[in-house]
Amino acid sequence: MSAQAVYVLWLRDMKWFLRAKGRLISTFVMPFLWLAILGMGLGAVIQMPGGGSFIDFLTPGIVGMAILFSATMSGVSVLWDKQFGFMKEILVAPVSRISIMIGKALGGATTSIIQGVMLLFVAALIGARMPGIAGFLIAFLFMIILALGFVSLGLAIASRIGDPVAFPIVINFLIMPLFFLSGAIFPISTAPGWLQTLAYINPVTYGVDGLRGAILGTSQFPLWLDFAVLGLFSLAMILLGAYLFKKMKA
Amino acid sequence: MKPAIETRDLTKEFNGLVAVDHVDLQIEKGELFGLLGPNGAGKTTLIHMLCTILPPTEGTAKVAGFDIHRTPDSVRKAIGIVFQDPSLDGRLTSRENLDFHGRVYGMDKAQREKRIADVLKLVDLEDRAKALVQTYSSGMRRRLEIARGLMHHPKIMFMDEPTLGLDPQTRRSIWDHIQMLNKQEKITILLTTHYMDEADYLCDRVGIIDHGKIISLGKPEKLKDELKGDIVSLEVAQPKKYVEIFQRAKYVKEVTVVKDQLHLTVTGGERTIPKLMEIVTRRGGKVRSVGLRSPTLEDVFIRYTGRGIREEEAGAKEQMRMMVRAHSR
Ligand SMILES: Nc1ncnc2c1ncn2[C@@H]1O[C@H](COP(=O)(O)OP(=O)(O)OP(=O)(O)O)[C@@H](O)[C@H]1O
Ligand SMILES: [Mg+2]
C-alpha cells in the first residue's frame, strides 16, 4: 500500500470535480428537482401516516439518492482513463492495484458525499426539518458508508465492462430499482406486502432509514440495525471491488 | 558488464496469433537500440512485456538486471515509458501530470519540484507548464510524455513510436531530445519505429522485426553494407514477368517486386542500367522510369521479407491513430 498513490489519485478526482463545472451542476440539478418539485408539489396533497410534512420525509431519501447515483457512476472514470490511455500510466507505476482501487474509491466517495451534504443544505433552504449536531454527524457517517459501498460496486462493474458509454446504462438499470424500492420516496411500512419484502432485502433501504433516523429522529428500524446491515453490505462491496479491480486487464 | 535488457524465448500469443515469437535479444547499457518493423510486427507487444504490464505466454526477460516475472516492481522503478498511444491527463496541467507521476513513483516534495523544473526545461515546455494539457499540440504532448518518463530518473527508457504522426520539424526536435538523453544523461533507450530514416539516423543498433521475429540485427551501416551494391528500380508493366530473366543475369544479385517496380541489387549501378533496360526492351517491354540509389534499411527489410515495410500502411491505420491523437482531450 502506498499512501502517496492513494492520496494523489484522490487529489486528481477532486481537481476533476472542481474543474468540471457542468458535471457539478448537472449532478446537483436532478436531485434538487426531485426535492423541490416532488417535495413541494406532492407535499401539498399528501398526508404522512405519522404526521409531519412530506418534504421532511423526502429529504433523507433524496440525499441518499444523490449519493447512491453519483457514487456508483463515479466508477466511469476508470473507463475514461482507459479510453484516453491514462490508465496505462497508472497501472505501470510501481504501486499495488489495491492502492489504486482505494484512491479511486476515496475520490468517488468524497465527491458524492459533498453532493449529499450540499443537498441537505438546499433542503434546509426550502424549509425541510434539519437535525442537530449529533444527528448531522450520524447522517454523515451513514453517507460515508453508503458512498463507499456503492463506489466499490461501481468500480467492480467498471472493471468488468470496457465501454464508458454502456456503463451508465448498466448502472441506471441496476440502481433505479434499488432506489425506488428503498423507501426513499414512500414509507415502506404502509406499502403492500410484496413491496415490503423487496425493500427488506434491499441494502439501500437501511441506508435511507439510517439517514432518516439521523435527520428526523424517527426510523423504521433501530439505527444499530441500519448501521450493521449497510456496513456489512458495503464491506462486501469493497472486497468485491478490490478483487475485480485487481483482476482487471491493463 | 551485465546487459540492460536480455530476453530469452520471449513469446506472446493472442488466441492462437503469435504476436511475439521466441525473441532473444540483448541490449547493452548505454545503447540506443531501435526495433524497426511494419504495423502489427509485435513491437508494442514486446515492449509491454518488458514493462511488465503484459504477461508473456512463454520465455523470460531481465530488465535492468531484474526478472520481469519475479521482481516486476523493481523493473518498473528502473524504467521510463513513452507509450505509443497518448496517456496524459488532458484535464490536468503538465506540471500536475508530472507531479502525479512523481508521487506514484514515491518521490518527496523537494525531489519532485526540482525534477519537474529539470525535465520541463529539458523538453522546452517551461512556458506552458501551467496550461491544461488538452490545449497542447501533439508535438508538445509527445515531449511532455518523454519528460514524464524521465521524472523518476529511469536507467532505461522505452519509447514506442515516439514520433508517430508528427511533422518533420517536430520529429527532428524529438530526435535531438532522444539523442541528448542517450549521450548526456546516459540512459539506455529502446525505441520502436516504422520510419527507416529514424532508425538509421538515431540508433546505434537496429533489430528488424516482422511477424514477431527479429529477422536481422546490427548497426545500420552494417545491415546496409550486407546488401553489397546499389539498388536499381525499374518501373515496367507486369514486373513479375522479368524476375526470372534478371535472376539469371550475373551482375544482378537480388530481384524483388514492389508494387509495379522491380528492385534490383546490382554492382556498379551506372554501368548496368543500360544493360537492364536493354533486356526489358528486347522482351518488347517498356521502362517507364528508372531509379538508382544506395541501399536503405527499407531495402534490407525487403530483402528479408520480400515486401516493403510501408507497403500496406501509411494508410488507414496510421491516419486513424493521428486523428485519435489529435482529438483526445
Ligand atoms: N490485446 C490484443 N489482443 C489480440 N491481439 C492483439 C492484442 N494486442 C496486439 N495484438 C495483435 O498482435 C500483433 C502485434 O501487435 P503490436 O501492437 O505489437 O504490433 P506493432 O508492431 O506495435 O504495430 P504498430 O506499428 O501498428 O504499432 C497484431 O497482429 C495485433 O493485432
Ligand atoms: Mg505498436
Length of chain B counted residue by residue: 329
B143 occurs within a structural domain: yes
CATH number at residue B30: 3.40.50.300
Q: A199 or A249, which is more confident?
A: A199
B310 occurs within a structural domain: no
Stretch 53-92 of chain B: residues touching chain A, C-beta under 8 Å: 53-54, 73, 76-77, 81, 83, 85-92
Nearest to A215 by CA among A39, A31, A60: A60
Residues B80 and B144 placed together within one structural domain of the fold: yes
Domain membership of residue B104 as a residue range: 5-223
Residues B143 and B203 placed together within one structural domain of the fold: yes
Q: Tell me the whole-structure pTM to 2 decimals.
A: 0.84
B324 occurs within a structural domain: no
pLDDT computed for residue A134 by the predictor:
93
B236 occurs within a structural domain: yes
Which residue of B14, B15, B98, B100 to mutate against A (max A Cβ within 10 Å)? B100
Which tens digit of pLDDT belongs to each residue from B232-283? 888 988 888 888 888 888 788 888 888 888 888 887 777 888 888 888 888 8
Residues B15 and B153 placed together within one structural domain of the fold: yes
pLDDT computed for residue A227 by the predictor:
96
The arithmetic mean of pLDDT across residues B196-202, rounded, is 89
Residues B32 and B46 placed together within one structural domain of the fold: yes
Q: Give the least confident one: A41-55, A152-166, B177-191, B262-276.
A: A41-55
Which residue of A86, A91, A95 to mutate against B (max B Cβ within 10 Å)? A86
CA-nearest residue for atom 28, ligand 1, is B40
Q: What is the ipTM of this complex?
A: 0.88
In the structure, what pLDDT confidence band is assigned to residue B311 with cuts at 50, 70 and 90?
low
Assign 3-state DSSP to chain A and report helix, strand, coil percentages, each to 5. 75, 0, 25
Q: Are B199 and B36 in contact (CB under 8 A)?
A: yes
Q: How far is the CA of A20 from the centre of ligand 1 (A)?
A: 35
Q: Is the pLDDT of residue B326 over 70?
A: no
CA-nearest residue for atom 18, ligand 1, is B42
Q: Is the pLDDT of residue B318 over 50?
A: no
pLDDT computed for residue B250 by the predictor:
78
Q: Is the pLDDT of residue B327 over 80?
A: no
Residues B240 and B254 placed together within one structural domain of the fold: yes
Which tens digit of pLDDT belongs to each residue from A164-174? 899 999 999 99
pLDDT over 70 for what percent of chain B?
A: 93
Pairing between strand B205-210 and B32-36? parallel
Residue A163 to residue A83: CA distance in whole angstroms: 8
Q: Are B81 and A85 in contact (CB under 8 A)?
A: no
**Of the candidates B189, B223, B257, which is a domain's last residue?**
B223
The arithmetic mean of pLDDT across residues B26-43, rounded, is 93
Q: What is the mean pLDDT of chain A?
A: 90
Residue B289 to residue B291: CA distance in whole angstroms: 7
Q: Write the residue in B53, B86, B100 that is nearest to A8 by C-beta.
A: B100
pLDDT computed for residue B156 by the predictor:
96
Q: Is the pLDDT of residue B309 over 80?
A: no
CATH number at residue B282: 3.30.70.100
Q: Write the residue in B86, B103, B148 that is nearest to A8 by C-beta.
A: B103
